[in-house]
Chain A
Amino acid sequence: MAPKKNSAKRPQPSTPKPSAPARIVKVQSSDGHILQADVRALLLSSTLAATIKGYDDENKPLEKLEVNNVVGFTLKLVLEWCEKHKEDDPAIAQAEKDKKNIFIPSWDRHFLTKLPMGNLFDLITAAYHLDITGLINYGCKTVANSAKGKSTEEMRELFGIPEPWEQPSTSTATWDD
């Protein structure tokens, strides 16, 4: 019997909603880079969503959002990911929040695996600061997948960890404990 693809438990993307006119705002990174983003993409970040809601509640014009803990290069990646997922049903990310077996869609897999490990870590850290559940989940899973099946030496190389004799106050004799 041919193996069946098990997709029963995976949340299905909702049907695309009729797209509203895009509301574009400026987003400034910690190193002063100014980027533009659709508000619907920014709403994937719980942190930015709260800020945007604050502006809307007070009927203040939202011209520029400042993201103080993410540099320009990483913020660009974050916005690229959010732009791709702005039509997603929020229930998908919520359903996968504490799920152990996370399925990474092909676009995300390609987007994340092409990044050097250092950039990927920066992206995950930024996603954590901005509270973007889906990006945290996919990023962590990608890092975990890249570590699977690797020896200690290969992992040191992958994560840029110095060799034992290059690490400070090293006593390698007990590392196999």
Chain B
Amino acid sequence: MDMPHIVMTKIMGNVGFLAILNLRKTCKTFRNFIDDVKPINDLKELRITLGHFYVKVEVFLDKNGYDADRCSFVSSYQQAPDDNTARGSRTREYPLHILPHYPFDHASTFSQRFKTYIQNTREKQENIFFRFQNLQAFLTNPYFKRWQLQYEDSEGDDMIHNILGRIPHEEQEKWFYGIPNSTEVLCIQSVYQTVWTVSFTRINLVDVPENAWVHWE
């Protein structure tokens, strides 16, 4: 397809997130275009729950309005009980195609910091890869507003404090990181409600509480 850039962007803006993923796999021209342009899509939130033997992915699409309480569909992947050796085949079961790989030059410092965190959790190698790829995609896509990670391992909470530093106001339990060349701030929150949850949310700078510390790096 030899179409003007603006026209292609307009088409991509109308096809929806799932169709973009399929379109991206048709040929390298589409793949490069989608990776470069990062078209606006209807994906609003992705919730990933990782257990020791399963991964659950909840996908929230903006269909006639975004509803944070109603996900569009869920993909669950569970290790077969007798599957102790087939690591390769198990890896293929993970929905790595859910998020494309985006170049992440400007977010590399931040994602490298979290790579340490992710690698230090007692997870299987496939899970670590899966989590890291999704974090990179979130950090580099301004249309992706929220990324949430849940884990059952209680050591995670100590680790995230070590990486992000102590919070000046303990009751706040949120970290704020300025995003270069943007009016948005990355808000990271760690909470425990039956499982540990770390959420990454893009918010406007004006919505940061007055006394909060914002890291700029």
Chain B residues near A151 (CB-CB < 8 A) = 22
B101–A177 contact, CB under 8 A?
A: yes
Which of B11, B23, B40, B97 is within 8 Å of A155, CB to CB?
Answer: B23
- A155 to B12 CA separation, bound complex (whole angstroms): 13
- B117 CB to closest chain A CB (Å) equals 23
Question: Is B80 in contact with chain A by the CB < 8 A criterion?
Answer: no
Asked if B11 and A175 sit within 8 Å, CB to CB, the answer is no
CB-based A-B contact count at 8 angstroms: 73
Does the CB pair B96–A177 fall under 8 Å? yes
The reply to whether B97 and A176 contact each other, CB–CB distance below 8 Å, is yes
Chain B CB within 10 Å, residue with most, of A100, A159, A164, A177: A177
Q: Nearest Cβ distance between residue B43 and chain A, in whole angstroms? A: 14
Chain B positions near chain A (C-beta within 8 angstroms):
1-4, 6-7, 10-16, 19, 22-23, 25-28, 30-31, 40, 96-97, 100-101
Q: Are A144 and B14 in contact (CB under 8 A)?
A: yes
Mostly, the A contact residues are helix
Known: A141-B14, A144-B15, A177-B101. A136 touches B26 (CB 8 A): no
The answer to whether A161 and B101 have CB atoms under 8 Å apart is no
CA distance A159 to B26 in the complex (A): 10
Do B19 and A147 have beta carbons less than 8 Å apart? yes
B28 and A177 within 8 A (CB): no
